[in-house]
Amino acid sequence: MRQLHSALHVAEVLLMGNKGALLRRMGQLNKSELLIRQTIVAGEALIRRFPSIIDYRTLLAQKYLDLGLCLRDQNHLEEAEKTMREAWQRFAVLARALPQNHKDRRWSGRAQYNLGEILFHQGRIDEATANFQEAIKYQEAILCQRSLKTDHR
């Protein structure tokens, strides 16, 4: 029964986070921000309760990325930058911990790219360019690894 309760709680957190991301795409930014922030709080609680489940850490990093995008869309660029850096750092930690996991490396690249966009909107062109270049390196590394895997089959 306890496992079922935990699984339902995780499903609720996922649903709340997905709804927040959807609301952002629909332009309902205030509602989106609120739901994503609630998802982050719930995600932090999940990690405290189940520290060994890596997928929860990935989910949480994704929600930081979603929040950064929502804040960018509201033109809250300083907070968006801080939040996107948090997302990127969380993905980078996951990618280093599990180098074979392309998903977290791909998300790291996305966070790096979105950080570049935020910096660009702040007029910080050199920093933005550096972030765009790093995002490309992430994607190139993933493509090279995938290519090597298919060559060995």
Work out the angle at residue 89's Cα, subtended by the Cα atoms of residues 104 and 53, and round it to the nearest 5 degrees.
Answer: 50
- DSSP-derived secondary structure for 92-116: HHHHHH-TT-HHHHHHHHHHHHHHH
Q: Total domain count for the chain?
A: 1
Q: What would the mean pLDDT of 91-118 be, rounded to a whole number?
A: 83
CATH (domain of 122) = 1.25.40.10
Q: What is the pLDDT of residue 21?
A: 92
* Residues shown for the chain: 153
- DSSP-derived secondary structure for 48-60: HHSTT-HHHHHHH
pLDDT one-digit tens code per residue, 60-86? 999 999 999 999 999 999 999 999 999
Average pLDDT over the chain, rounded to an integer? 85
Torsion 75-77-80-84 (CA) sign: positive
Q: Which domain holds residue 121?
A: 2-151
Whether the pLDDT of residue 132 is over 80: the answer is yes
Whether the pLDDT of residue 7 is over 70: the answer is no
Whether the pLDDT of residue 35 is over 70: the answer is yes
The most confident of 1-15, 81-95, 99-113, by mean pLDDT: 81-95
Q: What would the mean pLDDT of 112-135 be, rounded to a whole number?
A: 95
**This prediction's pTM:** 0.85
Q: What is the pLDDT of residue 100?
A: 66
User: Where does the pLDDT of residue 53 fall: very low under 50, low under 70, confident under 90, or very high at 90 and above?
Assistant: confident
Whether the pLDDT of residue 24 is over 80: the answer is yes
pLDDT one-digit tens code per residue, 135-150? 888 777 666 665 555 5
